[in-house]
A and B are shown apart, each in its own frame.
Chain A
Amino acid sequence: MATTMLKALNQSLHDALSDDEKVILLGEDIGTLGGVFRVTDGLKSEFGEHRVVDTPLAESGIVGSAIGLAYRGYRPVVEIQFDGFTYPAFDQLVSQLAKLHYRSRGRVKMPVTVRIPYGGGIGSPEHHSESPEAYFAHTAGLRVFAPSSVQDAYTMLRQAIDCDDPVIFFEPKRRYHEKADIDLSTPAKDGSPKAKVVREGEDVTIVGYGPTTYTLLEAALAAEDEGVSLEVIDLRTLDPLDIDTVANSVKHTGKLVVVHEASRTSGVGAEICAQITETCFDYLEHAPLRVTGFDIPYPPSRLESHHLPDLDRVMHAVDTVMRHHEATEGAAK
């Protein structure tokens, strides 16, 4: 039976709580209510208030107390209710959680998972639609997971919880209701799931993660109608960044488009374009392009369709790199 991403995440938390008594969930409204998105629905009644803990309304407090619990030997999984509420916890995330293993010279492990429903497209007010992943991908010591599929939501959350490093786990909230059949077997321990070629193609490598992967698959279908073959890569993790999978693709397509909802400047796309330029310069037939949110605060939701990379903007970028390709091919003839 097909499962929604919400149910897959719920099942993942359920199975982690069942398998390891040191797993503990913390967050606002995650207990009695089951979370504002219901990701933790039913878990408090099954595992008790000391395993699924409703917290006071203080994000720094949630992350900071999770660090203390990790010192005590727990494996906390915290929920930040919405992306834009991550920032009150910034010190605890980047100066504490990220650095304690390094600071303690490996003596203190911080197996803390920070779940953040992120991204736009659901018509929300300010602070409910942000994509803050670049801050954390920039921070040494944190791993950053951004699953896109229902299966990955289940599997990668288990892997994040199992990982001895802190993981910032970005959930593509506008895809929460996507459905798929999934395999619930216990995943192999893997702190760094690799990027995945979700559709093979010949002409252009197109890279996304989280909510944009669906858009890229749509683009691949649209491009196919135009006789253009897109190779779609779902990054899955932003740290570590599996640049090899992207490079291997670019080496045969010669063209790269990177897509994300987050603002452009100094974003994950910039890093990918830089690394590909450094490692695949001689293979490139066109400068790598980015299709991203604009360098603006997240706009009022009536305008968000312009801000979010949609099928048309992605196709426009594909056309741009292909036109150049066709022009140079033509000149050669």
Chain B
Amino acid sequence: MSTKHVDVAAENIPTQQLLNVAGERVPDSELDHYVAKLTESDLADFLRDMVVLRRMDTEATALQRQGQLGLWAPLLGQEAAQIGSVRATRDTDFIFPSYREHGVAWARGVKAEDLLSVWRGAQASGWDPHEVNIACQQIVIGSQALHAAGYGMGIKFDGGDETAIAYFGDGATSQGDVNEAMVFAASYQAPVLFFCQNNQWAISEPVALQSRTQIADRAHGFGLKTWRVDGNDILAVYAATQAALAHCRNGLGPTFIEAVTYRMGSHTTADDPKRYRKDSELEKWRAKDPIDRLVKYLHVIGADVQSYEQRAQNAADELAAQLRAAITAMPDPTVEQMFDNVYAEAHEPSRRARDEYMNYLAGFEGDGR
């Protein structure tokens, strides 16, 4: 089928950009304000974050190929969408991510090896949600959007100034839960940002299979204040996220951002994108690479790009070496842990099942197994 949008509805919401593909600054009367205070040092930090993240992603893919991880969902190409948005949040804003938001969690201080431990199969989640204000990563497509809506309702009901942020992809916009979440957030005017990374593909399905109009236009129909930004432009993503969160914090209701980006890698390490998309498409998007874009801009403003790149590279090398060492040395959880935390309170049948199996295993002790 065609991957082109059919013009059944006017494309009402324009795609905003602050850096064009050549890395030149494009004025935007609305968004300029939100990047005005960014210093060259902030831009260098963005660069470092994206370079480190890309390296973490590459290392994880390699670790999967070497049997150290069961699976990995690469984020290659989505570095600006993730870093730009999360760096615009406050630490008290509560994030509800999908399984691909490695950059969001890492930027909030989650260790790379803790992130990867989940993909190794060593544990079911890699962080304490209440410590980093990020919910457990969600694998069922779109389910977390409702959790963000509910969290946002709670903020509204108890008068907090935080926000709730749901991350999801273009595929998730077809899910009932995402649509219900927008209804709930709009009904209660809850401070929720729905952040959609439209990376063009849901495994093998092009975005046109999910939506015949721009995703942002649909969100607008729910009564959400909506932005559509170039998701490979870290400044535009950062600015739009700032704008959306300010809107939420000002009590003006929920918001939606469609960050138009591209999944340059596979859906997961078990996927083969050559079966469903052309190399030429990938090449087209490679020219829009989010890291290259920022590097070009740093050149445009006359920054000492080489030293920033060197610093970023050093940080990436350090993380990769440390990550590899941690993953290859990571012990398996104990068998008893398999039975832990099914319930928060005492639960007799669970206790019996655990004891029975542990006794069974104990019967083999000394058998040399």
Please give the residue numbers on chain A whose beta carbons come within 8 Å of chain B beta carbons, in ascending order: 24, 50, 53, 55-56, 58, 60-61, 63-74, 76, 88, 91-92, 95-96, 100-111, 140-141, 143, 163-165, 191-192, 239-243
In contact, B152 and A102 (Cβ under 8 angstroms):
no
Smallest CB–CB gap between B97 and chain A, Å? 13
Give bound CA distance, A192 to B123, whole Å. 28
Chain B 92-115 interface 0/1 with A at a Cβ cutoff of 8 Å (1 = within): 001010000000000000000000
- Specify which chain B residues have a CB less than 8 angstroms from the CB of A242 in the assembled complex: 348
CB-CB contacts below 8 Å: B127-167 with A:
128-131, 135-136, 140, 143, 145-155, 157-158, 164
If A95-B140, A108-B130 touch, whether A71 touches B345 (CB-CB below 8 Å) is no
Give the A-B contact count at a CB cut-off of 8 A.
154
- Specify which chain A residues have a CB less than 8 angstroms from the CB of B342 in the assembled complex: 101-102, 140-141
B176 interface contact, C-beta 8 A: yes
Give bound CA distance, A61 to B125, whole Å. 24
Give bound CA distance, A56 to B154, whole Å. 16
In contact, B345 and A68 (Cβ under 8 angstroms):
no
- Specify which chain B residues have a CB less than 8 angstroms from the CB of A64 in the assembled complex: 143, 145-147, 149-150, 177, 180-181
- Specify which chain B residues have a CB less than 8 angstroms from the CB of A58 in the assembled complex: 176, 180, 183-184
Enumerate 8 A-B pairs (CB-CB under 8 Å) in ascending A order.
A53-B153, A68-B153, A103-B125, A104-B129, A105-B125, A107-B129, A143-B347, A242-B348
Give bound CA distance, A169 to B365, whole Å. 43
Within 8 Å by CB of B151, from A68, A105, A106, A143, lies A68
Q: Count B interface residues, CB 8 Å.
A: 45
- Specify which chain A residues have a CB less than 8 angstroms from the CB of B181 in the assembled complex: 61, 64-65
In contact, A56 and B180 (Cβ under 8 angstroms):
yes
Give bound CA distance, A102 to B124, whole Å. 8
- Specify which chain A residues have a CB less than 8 angstroms from the CB of B349 in the assembled complex: 239-241, 243
Give bound CA distance, A73 to B152, whole Å. 12
- Specify which chain B residues have a CB less than 8 angstroms from the CB of A163 in the assembled complex: 345
The 6 A-B residue pairs with the shortest CB-CB distance in the complex, in nearest-first order: A68-B150, A64-B146, A65-B150, A72-B154, A61-B180, A191-B345
If A24-B157, A100-B136, A191-B346 touch, whether A68 touches B124 (CB-CB below 8 Å) is no
Chain B 345-359 interface 0/1 with A at a Cβ cutoff of 8 Å (1 = within): 111111000000000
- Specify which chain A residues have a CB less than 8 angstroms from the CB of B183 in the assembled complex: 56, 58, 61
A64-B177, A72-B151, A191-B346 given; name 19 further pairs at CB < 8 Å: A56-B187, A58-B184, A60-B176, A64-B146, A65-B149, A66-B150, A68-B154, A69-B153, A72-B150, A101-B343, A104-B136, A105-B124, A106-B340, A108-B130, A140-B342, A165-B344, A192-B345, A192-B347, A240-B347
In contact, A71 and B347 (Cβ under 8 angstroms):
no
In contact, B143 and A96 (Cβ under 8 angstroms):
yes
B341 interface contact, C-beta 8 A: yes
Residue of A with least CB distance to B333: A105
Give bound CA distance, A163 to B343, whole Å. 10
- Specify which chain B residues have a CB less than 8 angstroms from the CB of A50 in the assembled complex: 157
Residue of B with least CB distance to A243: B349
- Specify which chain A residues have a CB less than 8 angstroms from the CB of B187 in the assembled complex: 55-56
What secondary structure prevails in chain B residues at the interface with A? helix
In contact, A60 and B177 (Cβ under 8 angstroms):
yes
Smallest CB–CB gap between A270 and chain B, Å? 16
- Specify which chain B residues have a CB less than 8 angstroms from the CB of A96 in the assembled complex: 140, 143, 147
Within 8 Å by CB of B143, from A24, A95, A191, A240, lies A95
- Specify which chain B residues have a CB less than 8 angstroms from the CB of A100 in the assembled complex: 136
In contact, B143 and A71 (Cβ under 8 angstroms):
no
In contact, B146 and A65 (Cβ under 8 angstroms):
yes
In contact, B184 and A141 (Cβ under 8 angstroms):
no
Within 8 Å by CB of A108, from B129, B149, B152, lies B129
Smallest CB–CB gap between A196 and chain B, Å? 16
- Specify which chain B residues have a CB less than 8 angstroms from the CB of A103 in the assembled complex: 124-125, 136
- Specify which chain B residues have a CB less than 8 angstroms from the CB of A92 in the assembled complex: 143, 146, 177
- Specify which chain B residues have a CB less than 8 angstroms from the CB of A76 in the assembled complex: 150
Give bound CA distance, A71 to B345, whole Å. 18
Residue of A with least CB distance to B337: A105
Smallest CB–CB gap between A110 and chain B, Å? 8
Give bound CA distance, A60 to B175, whole Å. 11
Give bound CA distance, A280 to B94, whole Å. 51
Residue of A with least CB distance to B118: A103
Give bound CA distance, A92 to B150, whole Å. 13
- Specify which chain A residues have a CB less than 8 angstroms from the CB of B348 in the assembled complex: 192, 240, 242
In contact, B140 and A108 (Cβ under 8 angstroms):
no
In contact, B147 and A60 (Cβ under 8 angstroms):
no
Give bound CA distance, A73 to B143, whole Å. 19
CB-CB contacts below 8 Å: B43-99 with A:
94, 96
Residue of A with least CB distance to B187: A56
Chain B 257-271 interface 0/1 with A at a Cβ cutoff of 8 Å (1 = within): 000000000000000
Give bound CA distance, A165 to B347, whole Å. 10
- Specify which chain A residues have a CB less than 8 angstroms from the CB of B154 in the assembled complex: 68-69, 71-74
Within 8 Å by CB of B146, from A61, A73, A74, A110, lies A61
Smallest CB–CB gap between B144 and chain A, Å? 9
Within 8 Å by CB of A68, from B125, B131, B148, B340, lies B148
Give bound CA distance, A100 to B130, whole Å. 13
Smallest CB–CB gap between B118 and chain A, Å? 10
If A68-B153, A71-B150 touch, whether A165 touches B345 (CB-CB below 8 Å) is yes
Smallest CB–CB gap between A238 and chain B, Å? 11
Smallest CB–CB gap between A56 and chain B, Å? 5
- Specify which chain A residues have a CB less than 8 angstroms from the CB of B124 in the assembled complex: 102-105
In contact, A109 and B344 (Cβ under 8 angstroms):
yes
In contact, B341 and A67 (Cβ under 8 angstroms):
no
Residue of A with least CB distance to B338: A102
Smallest CB–CB gap between A76 and chain B, Å? 8
CB-CB contacts below 8 Å: B196-253 with A:
none
Residue of B with least CB distance to A96: B143
Smallest CB–CB gap between B169 and chain A, Å? 17
In contact, A102 and B341 (Cβ under 8 angstroms):
yes
